[in-house]
Amino acid sequence: MICDVCKIREAEVFQPHTGRKLCRQCFIEDIKQRVKKEAEKIGLLNANKILLAVSGGKDSFVLADTLASFIDPSKLIAYNITEGIHGYNRKEQVEQLRKFLNDLGIELIEDSFKQSVGYTLDEMVEASKLRGLNVSACTFCGGFRRKLINDAGRKVNADYVATGHNLDDEVQAIIINLIRGDLTRLIRFGEKPLKLSSKFVLRVKPLRKIYEWETTMYAYYKGYTFQEVECPYITARPTLRAKVRELLYMLEDIRPGTLLNIIEEFDKIAENVRKGYISSTELKELPRCKICGEPTSYGREICKNCELLIKAGLLHQNLPIS
Ligand code: SF4
Ligand code: ZN
């Protein structure tokens, strides 16, 4: 079978959403071009500094590798956080990523919850259990990760923070927020990032139109080996996401291209949804947490992260009476 693009080399990959058979080189080029197109739309090509939030997994490798193929690597800086989860050691994965980043000419900053929050994730979870709190590890993990990534973006003066979320992640999140009827969260999705606080560095997802199976193949073809070690707290993840994922795979199977259609249609309506939402609720600058000074949701005095630490007995402040 000959590649449908170059018509020279042997085809190795079938791309169901385009119906094409591609050789390795044309497949890699296709991904790079699609990421470039997205990056151009978001405005990444004119950025002076972009912080890449990298986990060490395949998507972070694909993020760095594709961006470095059309953006000067000196404008990219990678940032990795060790959460401090026993038995979920991704040290080798990060070492492998460091080597690849080094070859691409991208610096890597390493951080940890212990260093920047004062506690490992395990310690936070343990303390919250002792206090009888019913808070999942993922709630601590997601909240502090977002905060640290934003802090890092500010510190290096980044115009954007880029994460490795792929098409599957993005569509799952859109559908979940639709199901929950959570418009406040839903309007954060869409092509253009939304800035609700001057303290937020704009967050972008250049891989948001690349299927997960494509990032897997890309990483594999580029020699990036990875073992996705499962986080021991994975069972604490919301089950709705797993169900939505299953459903979307089924639809994609019946009708290849479904996920791309969903995101492209969503992007078209997102702008209008935002406009309607903004005019109806007047989105103002988010209030600041009275403890840490970081942005928090409308109507809150202290942020969720500080509240969690206080409730877990890890931060000694009085909670405002609500
Ligand atoms: Fe963090 Fe939850 Fe993911 Fe584990 S499964 S890394 S606790 S968000
Ligand atoms: Zn706070």
Output 318 or 255, whichever has higher pLDDT. 255
Q: For residues 20 and 27, give the distance between their C-alpha atoms in angstroms, rounded to a whole number.
A: 10
Q: Does residue 232 carry a pLDDT above 70?
A: yes
Q: For residues 98 and 103, give the distance between their C-alpha atoms in angstroms, rounded to a whole number.
A: 9
Q: What is the pLDDT of residue 21?
A: 98
| Mutation probe of ligand 1 site: the residue of 82, 83, 124, 235 with most atoms within 8 A of C-beta | 83
Q: For residues 192 and 65, give the distance between their C-alpha atoms in angstroms, rounded to a whole number.
A: 22
Q: What is the pLDDT of residue 129?
A: 94
Residues lining ligand 1, CB < 6 A? Answer: 83, 137-138, 141-142, 231, 233-234, 237
Q: Read off the pLDDT band of 187 (50, 70, 90).
A: confident
Average pLDDT over residues 128-155: 95
Q: What is the pLDDT of residue 279?
A: 64
Among the bound ligands, name the one nearest to the CA of residue 295.
Answer: 2
- CA proximity to 23, closest of 219, 226, 221, 253: 221
Q: Does residue 284 carry a pLDDT above 80?
A: no
255 CA distance to ligand 1 middle (Å): 31
Q: Does residue 321 carry a pLDDT above 60?
A: no
The mean pLDDT of the chain is 92
Within 8 A by CB and 6+ apart from 216, the residues are 58
Tens-digit pLDDT profile for residues 68-109: 999 999 999 999 999 999 888 677 888 889 999 999 999 999
Query: Could you tell me which residues are beta bridge partners of residue 21?
Result: 14
List residues, by chain if needed, whose CB lies under 5 Å from ion ligand 2: 289, 291-292, 303, 306
Q: Which atom of ligand 1 is nearest to the CA of 234?
A: 5
Q: What is the pLDDT of residue 237?
A: 65
Q: What is the pLDDT of residue 84?
A: 94
- CA proximity to 197, closest of 188, 189, 205: 188
Residue nearest to atom 6 of ligand 1 (CA): 231
Tell me which long-range contacts 229-235 makes (C-beta under 8 A, separation of at least 24). Answer: 229/88, 229/89, 229/90, 229/93, 230/88, 231/85, 231/88, 232/85, 232/86, 232/87, 232/88, 233/85, 233/121, 233/125, 233/136, 233/137, 233/138, 233/141
Q: What is the pLDDT of residue 311?
A: 94
